[in-house]
Structures are given as C-alpha cells and as structure tokens.
Amino acid sequence: MDLAFATGYGPPPITDLEGRRPLVRAGDTVALGFRDWQDQAEFGSQPLPPDLLAYDLDTLRRLGVDEAARLAVDHLGRTELDGFFIHLDADVLDDAVMQAVDFRLPGGLSPAELGTVLRTAMASGKAVGLEVTIYNPTLDPDGEAGRILAEVVASALRPGIA
C-alpha cells in the first residue's frame, strides 16, 4: 500500500495529485519477493503499475536470488537516479521464521535470501536509506523473529559479514 501511495496508484482520495507528480515514479521502483498478489486481487487492490519492475517470489526464485537482486539494483542504480531507498516489509521473510507480522502468508524469503538481496543493494553504493516495517513485537514474545530480522539487516550493513 505504501508503494501505491508513493507512486500515485493508491486510492483516489489519497493519490489525487491535482497535477502534481507522485513522490516516486513507478518506473523508478522495484517490488521484490512479494507473494500476496492473489490476496491483493481478491481484496480489490489495483495491480502494480506496468512500468514498475516487479519480481514476485516465484520469479525471484526462477531467476535466482543473486540475479534478481542484481537486476533490481541495476534498474535502481541507473545514472539518471541519485540513489535508491529500501523499504523492507518484515513479512517478506518466510512465515516459518517471521510470525511477528499481522498478515501472515506461507512461504517467503529465507533469512539468507533476504541477506543476499540487502547485501547486493548495499554493495552498489547507491542505497541512501533503509526502513523496516510490518514487524510487530507484540507477536514475538521471545524476540526470536526480531533477532533474526535485526541480524539479517545488520549483516547487510556491515560489509564482509555473512
């Protein structure tokens, strides 16, 4: 939903820009590793804009995580862009690892796969920011899911640490 708002494709009361540009052009964004497209369609969400580079989980796995991450970074690292911002929803992780989210889906990226994506993005030198969302600590009584998420993000921010 945040991506829809930022690219001007969300609900009209919020994205009626009255001649203004969206915050981010859809063609300058990537959606990587999502697996909720069927639920989105069922709930009446708009489809992703056609110029947005999108690799759902099946496509990411078919390409290979390394290749999908490289293609995404190449797309976002174009010379006409000053850099890119990473928006990471914790629910991209496999549900077996990340139960501390409000909308759970089976499957998802392993911590190692997410680490590969984040390390590839950080190694580009073009990442200018990162936010982590969706994690709900009230659903993580022993803190294990939060520790896994924090370790994956921290390892991506520290070059040379796997």
pTM (two decimals): 0.87
Model confidence pLDDT, tens digit, residues 30-80: 999 988 655 555 655 667 788 999 999 999 999 999 999 999 999 999 999
Q: How far apart are CA 140 and CA 101, in angstroms?
A: 9
Residue 48 lies inside a defined structural domain of this protein: yes
* CATH label of the domain that carries residue 12: 3.40.800.10
**Is 72 part of a structural domain of the chain?**
yes
Res. 144 pLDDT band, cuts 50 70 90: very high
Total residue count of the chain as it appears in this document: 162
User: How far is residue 43's CA from residue 138's CA, in Å, rounded to a whole number?
Assistant: 26
What pLDDT score does 102 carry?
A: 92
Assess whether pLDDT exceeds 90 at residue 108: yes
Q: Report the number of distinct structural domains present in the chain.
A: 1
Range of the domain at 49: 2-157
- The overall average pLDDT reported for the chain is 88
Task: Indicate whether 162 belongs to any domain.
Answer: no
The residue type of 117 is V
